[in-house]
């Protein structure tokens, strides 16, 4: 069999950035070679490589036994390379069988996977995301958080009393907005982060992270911090993190999660978090949630204009300005400073009701 090599991206599980490597099949092993020097980087037995499922949309993601992974944007190119290797089709058959046995249980939701692949994906990903048990979602969030702490976050230097005041202010606003207590569970933590600048993000399971720089940027405007937190809570409420992971081509892995095998999915979380962003619809939903929460809590949603104006003045890249140097927040696409269209969003908050 011709041992053709393919250049692709490798996340080694430690650094946030992908390295370009060459991969090829060598006997019963997959070998990773340095792109420049062709030096051998890794060698994995084929039996332990979890190949991407070919029917999935989007990029091809291969899980490697040491927790690192390969991501290939051009799915057609990947499939051609893979076919050339003369390997056996991955365990699609076994997957389909377990699929059939669960079809009854998961019912119409999962049926969309078969009949509505093209148009059904956005709806499906959201539905699948909502069928992941809360305990597992929390575990997914913790896994992501561990990785982000390693690469981006340092202990906060915001005084504990100030942290607590922000937390209590937000808790009070949430209670005023949802007196029946029907909000998802959330936890708030503060971290210093040189890479992320003034920023905030939420992870599956309800972990909300705010950077010290964001607190400093909005120190004189506590209602605006509450609004930022409300936006992040909107992502938690709508389970956008999981939804995004499903869209990133992890449908097969998430079905594995629903069926009880989370290992492949958990291994893929860090790289997914570092490379994928929420959809525009997801951002709109989070903004709507934020405006609703603020309004019900007795805070004018228009205060959010302050946030966008200060972010634009700061280090964040101008929205839509593709030629601009990448701002620090470009490193984490799910973080709030990476969200596009400030002007439109200012208008949205100003015009609420």
Residues at the site binding Zn ion, with contacts judged by CB under 5 A: 286
Question: Minimum CB separation from Zn ion for residue 34, in Å?
Answer: 37
Question: Minimum CB separation from Zn ion for residue 38, in Å?
Answer: 42
Tell me which residue has its CB nearest to Zn ion. Answer: 286
Question: Minimum CB separation from Zn ion for residue 345, in Å?
Answer: 10
Q: How many Cβ atoms sit within 10 Å of the Cβ of residue 198?
A: 26
Tokens of 8: 């692709």
Question: Minimum CB separation from Zn ion for residue 259, in Å?
Answer: 30
Nearer to Zn ion, 31 or 286 (CB): 286
Nearer to Zn ion, 286 or 329 (CB): 286
Nearer to Zn ion, 11 or 349 (CB): 349
Nearer to Zn ion, 32 or 286 (CB): 286
Nearer to Zn ion, 52 or 206 (CB): 206
Nearer to Zn ion, 12 or 285 (CB): 285
Nearer to Zn ion, 149 or 288 (CB): 288
Question: Minimum CB separation from Zn ion for residue 319, in Å?
Answer: 13
Question: Minimum CB separation from Zn ion for residue 307, in Å?
Answer: 12
Collect all residues with Cβ–Cβ distance below 8 Å to 67 and sequence separation of at least 6.
13, 267
327: exposed, middle or buried (C-beta count within 10 Å: 0-12, 13-18, 19+)?
A: middle
Nearer to Zn ion, 215 or 286 (CB): 286
Tokens of 240: 């956008």
Question: Minimum CB separation from Zn ion for residue 200, in Å?
Answer: 8
Q: What is the 3-state secondary structure (H, E, C) of the chain?
A: CCCCCEEEEEECCCCCCCEEEEEEEECCEEEEEECCCCCEEEEEEHHHCECCCCCCCCCEEEECCCCCEEEECCHHHHHHHHHHCCCCCCCHHHHHHHHHHHHHHHCHHHHHHHHCHHHHHHHHHHHHHHCCCHHHHHHHHHHHHHHHHHHCCEECCCCHHHHHHHHHHHHHHHHHHCCCCCCCCCEEEEEECCCCCCCEEEECCCEEEEEHHHHHHCCCCHHHHHHHHHHHHHHHHCCHHHHHHHHHHHHHHHHHHHHCCCHHHHHHHHHHHHHCCCCHHHHHHHHHHHHHHHHHCCCCHHHHHHHHHHHHHCCCCCCCCCCCCCCHHHHCCCCHHHCCCHHHHHHHHHCCC
Nearer to Zn ion, 148 or 286 (CB): 286
Question: Minimum CB separation from Zn ion for residue 271, in Å?
Answer: 20
**Cα–Cα distance list, 133 to 106, 128, 130, 230, 262 (Å):** 13, 10, 8, 23, 11
Question: Minimum CB separation from Zn ion for residue 219, in Å?
Answer: 22
Question: Minimum CB separation from Zn ion for residue 336, in Å?
Answer: 5
Nearer to Zn ion, 227 or 256 (CB): 227
The Cα–Cα gap between 300 and 324 comes to: 33
């Amino acid at each position: 069999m011709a041992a053709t090599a393919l250049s692709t991206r490798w996340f080694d599980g430690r650094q946030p950035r992908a390295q370009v490597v060459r991969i090829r099949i060598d006997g019963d092993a997959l070998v990773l070679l340095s792109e420049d020097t062709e030096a051998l980087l890794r060698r994995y037995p084929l039996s332990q490589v979890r190949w991407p499922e070919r029917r999935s949309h989007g990029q091809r993601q291969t899980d490697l036994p040491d927790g690192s992974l390969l991501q290939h944007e051009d799915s057609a190119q990947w499939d051609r390379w893979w076919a050339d290797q003369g390997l056996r089709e991955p365990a699609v058959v076994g997957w389909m069988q377990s699929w059939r046995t669960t079809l009854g249980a998961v019912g119409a939701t999962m049926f969309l996977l078969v009949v509505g692949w093209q148009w059904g994906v956005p709806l499906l990903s959201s539905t699948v995301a909502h069928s992941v048990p809360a305990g597992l979602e929390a575990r997914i969030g913790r896994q992501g958080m561990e990785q982000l702490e390693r690469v981006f976050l340092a202990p906060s230097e915001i005084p504990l009393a100030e942290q607590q005041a922000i937390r209590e202010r937000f808790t009070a606003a949430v209670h005023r907005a949802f007196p029946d207590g029907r909000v998802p569970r959330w936890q708030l933590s503060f971290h210093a982060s040189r890479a992320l600048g003034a920023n905030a993000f939420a992870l599956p399971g309800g972990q909300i992270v705010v950077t010290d720089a964001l607190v400093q940027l909005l120190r004189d405007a506590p209602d605006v911090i509450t609004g930022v937190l409300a936006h992040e809570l909107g992502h938690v409420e709508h389970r956008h993190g999981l939804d995004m992971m499903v869209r990133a081509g992890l449908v097969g892995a998430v079905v594995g999660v629903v069926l009880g095998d989370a290992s492949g999915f958990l291994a893929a979380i860090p790289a997914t978090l570092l490379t994928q962003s929420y959809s525009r619809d997801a951002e709109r939903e989070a903004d709507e949630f934020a405006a609703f929460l603020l309004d019900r809590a007795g805070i004018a949603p228009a205060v959010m204009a302050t946030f966008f104006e200060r972010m634009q003045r700061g280090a964040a890249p101008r929205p839509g300005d593709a030629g601009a140097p990448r701002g620090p927040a470009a490193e984490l696409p799910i973080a709030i400073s990476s969200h596009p269209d400030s002007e439109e969003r200012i208008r949205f908050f100003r015009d609420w009701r």
